[in-house]
Amino acid sequence: MQQEEGLGNGISSPVKISVQELVRSDAKNVPERYIRNPDNRPKSSEIRLVSDDDVPVIDFSLLARGDEDERKKLDVACQEWGFFQIINHGAEEAIPKMKAAVIDFYDLPLSEKNKYAMPPDYFEGYSQDNKVGERKRDWYDILWLLTMPPHSRNTKYWPLTSWSNGKYKGLEHRVVANVEKPRISVISFVIPSDEAELNPLKTMVDDDHPPIYKNGVKYIDYLLYANTKETEEDKYVNNIEYLKREI
């Protein structure tokens, strides 16, 4: 990864109090800015427990060889689940090393992590949830490390649903906090250029499935819309609805 000017060079914005430090100092009380409204909290009626055997498993090595049965399994997983587990992907040795590196970073003192704090004008480095306005903050600390291409940016609201013309599920990433131990997620995003237009794939549109999303919405316009929502109730689904309306 190429080192960009501004990351860890003294012009970044240090994290004053991280979620990690809040837990270490007072594990029983949560600051108001992190407490969600009751209507926006996970409900037991909305949570369906599944076993590991239930989650779709896709063999990437078969996909790479063009296996038709595996392609059909992927199609079903995208329609019915919106996520799946991949095996035989070729990164089996790298994943444990990546997890260990993440744990080592967060075990550093706050002063050391702040050497890599996210600058105010660049989307890379160590930071907290940076929501604006009245939005409640999420209970996490984050380390953004951009890979190729250099202009990559956050795709938390990447509209997969519009690509598939509503056929494939695009899920909101939401996790219930574990009160017993910390949780680590390592997420890789695939990002288009700012000027890329978000249109359904041609294979997802026919006479029986006409386009339901507006053609020609630029990725940068969608991203700006999603990142300027002011309240915690403005979720992913509402951002997708934006693609059905005129800008």
Please, which contacts does 229-235 make with residues 24 or more away whose CB atoms are closer than 8 Å? 229/135, 230/132, 230/133, 230/134, 230/135, 231/133, 231/134, 231/135, 232/36, 232/37, 232/40, 232/134, 232/135, 232/136, 233/37, 233/39, 233/40, 234/135, 235/172
Q: Give the number of other CB atoms < 10 A from CB of residue 118.
A: 23
Mean pLDDT of the 154-181 span: 55
Mean pLDDT of the 215-232 span: 70
pLDDT digits (tens, 9 = 90+) for 75-119: 999 888 888 999 999 999 989 988 888 888 888 898 888 888 887
pLDDT at 240: 58
Q: What is the model's pTM?
A: 0.64
pLDDT at 35: 85
Q: Is 234's pLDDT higher than 60?
A: no
pLDDT digits (tens, 9 = 90+) for 212-223: 777 778 888 877
Of the two residues 77 and 154, the one the predictor is more confident about is: 77
Rounded to the nearest integer, the mean pLDDT of the chain is 74
pLDDT at 1: 35
Mean pLDDT of the 172-197 span: 76
List the structure tokens of 118.
């996210």
Q: Is 210's pLDDT higher than 80?
A: yes
Mean pLDDT of the 12-41 span: 80
pLDDT at 58: 96
Q: Is 245's pLDDT higher than 60?
A: no
